[in-house]
Amino acid sequence: MKSEKNWFRLMLGYAENSRSKLIGAVILSIISITSGIYPFYCMYRIIDAFVQDTVTKGYVVGWCIAALVAFAVKVLCFGLSTGLSHWAAYEVLAGLRKRVADRFMHAPLGTVQDHSIGEIKNIIVDKIENMEPPLAHMVPEGAGHLVLPVVSIISLLIIDWRLALASIATFPIALVCMGLTFKISGENFDIYNRSNAHMNSTIVEYIEGIEVIKAFGRAGVSYEKYAGAITQYKKFVIKWLRSTWVTMKLAFALFPSTMVGILPVALVLCNGGTITSAEAALAVMLSISMVGSLAKLEVFSESMRQLKNNVGELQTYLEMEELPEPAERASVSSYDVKLEGVRFSYTGDEKDEVLHGVDLTLPQGSFTAVVGPSGGGKSTVAKLIARFWDVTSGSITIGGVNVRDMPLSQLADLVSFVAQDNFLFRTSILENIRLGDPKASDEEVIAAARAAQCEEFIRKLPNGYDTPAGEAGKRLSGGEKQRIAIARMILKNAPIVILDEATAFTDPENEDKIQQSIAALTKGKTLLVIAHRLSTIRSADNIVLLKKGGIVAEGTQEELLEKSPLYRSMWQAHIGSKSWSVSSAEKEGNINVQNA
């Protein structure tokens, strides 16, 4: 996989726009860490003067000041380096989060829905956040911590090559242990990720489904699934840590143990007169100076593995399939919508095909209704026109232009879609409606709300239009949410309007009023209405009967009643349900007769 090989380059690629800050952070870190060695050299000069018996007060003070200045440079440069690297890191995280969200926006809806909310939250929040320590610490500090041992070993080499060799005496065993750790733990990384994602999804599902769990009194079963995922994760992580515990701890202990080799060698060399005692002291100090850096490098090597994994996973989201779209807006001659030989399968698999060659024309300014049994493909037709998915074969055109040949933003301008279930954002009702046209004034928003029969219930809310809709609109009833979505549609004022069961949850009295408003406001627009209540679409110019993914009949109400037995039986069932509702209302002494 491409991302396997170049993960480090990919990560630096994420930081492209913050490159100068990261380079600055690396340079400052190298200056900081190497200035950290200088005080050891100052100590060496002082010890040496003591050994030579040439020490003076001024000499000691001079070298102490030099050590202090080096230390101050170290602290200052480190502060500046981490400041810059954090700045860069958070810029990168923000950029990545926007890129993933943008990718989701342009991907087919099915690709987005293939990922659970838990998975998406895990990648956008956690996985991207996990890139902060590597970017802010590993890249700049790692460079410094790599340079310091190299400078120390070269300095040891200058004193005596045997000292340099002794300082890395424990490296071979440490590297073997580290290699073993990586091998054992690497094999489990995928399981770790899967287990983590499963836990995340289960938690989200448990919280999201809490209403159903309560309603069916299934708290026990659902809790078991939730607790099971957490226990499974815990068990796995403990087992995983156990499997690498010995080799990892050995590697961590041996890698920075520079003193093990250098102390005896320095003493022997000093004893034999090959090096002075001050040089022996300097060698020991240099080996001590390396300890911190080597230990840090080891920690970084661990986070590097995690990072490699994160980058790989993130990359699958950043490379997620997008709906192809041109950059230039197309010139659309009319607002006719035409479906020709449309076949579609949600899975891409022929055996799962849900539309089997649908031909349908919605002339500009006409009112078309699509009716039919549940699961017949009505909503699918609507979603394909709005290009939530691309057709498997056949074509959908607007004014002669294939919807694939216009930018998604242009299509969004042309089509208003009120879906079966509508989402409200966690903001005020006013802003939720304004989504239809962000430039609309408060008065225009309120006028749209009034036309959609929202005014009455909104006025009753504690803060009227400024009342928050509550997370995902949980505060409002199904019918109220639908009316807000209709107000959004009215405000958007697009030339093509698709209403998918848009008034299904609304009570008959309000539905009647909304129908009148919709009829008035969509005059001249290309209107596609999907409805189960057949009385609401009686006046349609064309009624299309869709069953099992194919059109079985179309025509006006009268024509269909005459020629389609299915439509006739649906109509009869509809009238039957209406007379039933009338008679039950009569029984309660609350007569509300509607003409069927």
Ligand X SMILES: Nc1ncnc2c1ncn2[C@@H]1O[C@H](COP(=O)(O)OP(=O)(O)OP(=O)(O)O)[C@@H](O)[C@H]1O
Which uninterrupted H or E stretch holds 500?
strand 496-500
**In angstroms, what is the minimal distance from the CB of 532 to ligand X?**
7
In this structure, the strands spanning 415-418 and 496-500 are parallel
380 binds ligand X (CB under 6 A): yes
- Among residues 228 and 341, whose Cβ is nearest to ligand X? 341
**In angstroms, what is the minimal distance from the CB of 344 to ligand X?**
9
Interface positions, 466-485, toward ligand X (CB under 6 A): none
- Among residues 309 and 379, whose Cβ is nearest to Mg ion? 379
**In angstroms, what is the minimal distance from the CB of 469 to ligand X?**
24
374 binds ligand X (CB under 6 A): yes
346 binds ligand X (CB under 6 A): yes
- The structure tokens listed for 8 are 């480090």
Whole-number CA gyration radius for the chain: 35
Per-residue contact track with ligand X, 115 to 144, x per CB under 6 A? ------------------------------
108 binds ligand X (CB under 6 A): no
461 binds, among Mg ion, ligand X, none (CB under 5 to 8 A by kind): none
Interface positions, 342-381, toward Mg ion (CB under 5 A): 379
Interface pick for ligand X out of 24, 108, 118, 377 (rule CB under 6 A): 377
By CB under 6 A, how many residues form the interface with ligand X?
Answer: 11
Cα 189 off chain centre by? 21
- The structure tokens listed for 66 are 């030099």
378 binds ligand X (CB under 6 A): yes
Length of the chain: 596
Residue 69 CB-half CA count within 13 A: 8
Interface positions, 379-398, toward Mg ion (CB under 5 A): 379
145 binds ligand X (CB under 6 A): no
Q: How far apart are CA 371 and CA 532, in angstroms?
A: 6
376 binds, among ligand X, Mg ion, none (CB under 5 to 8 A by kind): ligand X
**In angstroms, what is the minimal distance from the CB of 533 to ligand X?**
12
Per-residue contact track with ligand X, 558 to 577, x per CB under 6 A? --------------------
Interface pick for ligand X out of 13, 79, 341, 375 (rule CB under 6 A): 375
Sign of CA dihedral 39, 41, 47, 49: negative
- Among residues 248 and 560, whose Cβ is nearest to ligand X? 560
Q: How far apart are CA 40 and CA 291, in angstroms?
A: 14
Dihedrals phi, psi of 423, to nearest 5 degrees: -100, 135
Sign of CA dihedral 238, 243, 249, 255: negative
Q: How far is CA 429 from CA 134, 168, 467, 501, in A?
A: 42, 68, 6, 21
Q: Which stretch binds ligand X (CB under 6 A): 375-383, 429-437, 484-492, 550-558?
A: 375-383
Q: How far apart are CA 370 and CA 543, in angstroms?
A: 6
Q: Which residues share a beta bridge with 417?
A: 498
**In angstroms, what is the minimal distance from the CB of 500 to Mg ion?**
6
By CB under 5 A, how many residues form the interface with Mg ion?
Answer: 1
354 binds ligand X (CB under 6 A): yes
Which uninterrupted H or E stretch holds 341?
strand 337-345
- Among residues 113 and 463, whose Cβ is nearest to Mg ion? 113
DSSP letter assigned to residue 134 = I
Per-residue contact track with ligand X, 384 to 423, x per CB under 6 A? ------------------------------------x---
Q: Which residues share a beta bridge with 500?
A: 530
422 binds Mg ion (CB under 5 A): no
379 binds ligand X (CB under 6 A): yes
Starting from the edge strand earliest in sequence, which strands make up the sheet with 367-371, in order?
415-418, 496-500, 526-530, 367-371, 542-547, 550-555
Question: Which residues does 162 contact at the CB level (< 8 Å), separation at least 6?
Answer: 265, 269
Q: Which residues share a beta bridge with 542?
A: 368
341 binds, among ligand X, Mg ion, none (CB under 5 to 8 A by kind): none
- Among residues 294 and 382, whose Cβ is nearest to ligand X? 382
Q: Which residues contact ligand X by CB under 6 A?
A: 113, 346, 354, 374-380, 420
- Residues binding Mg ion (CB under 5 A): 379
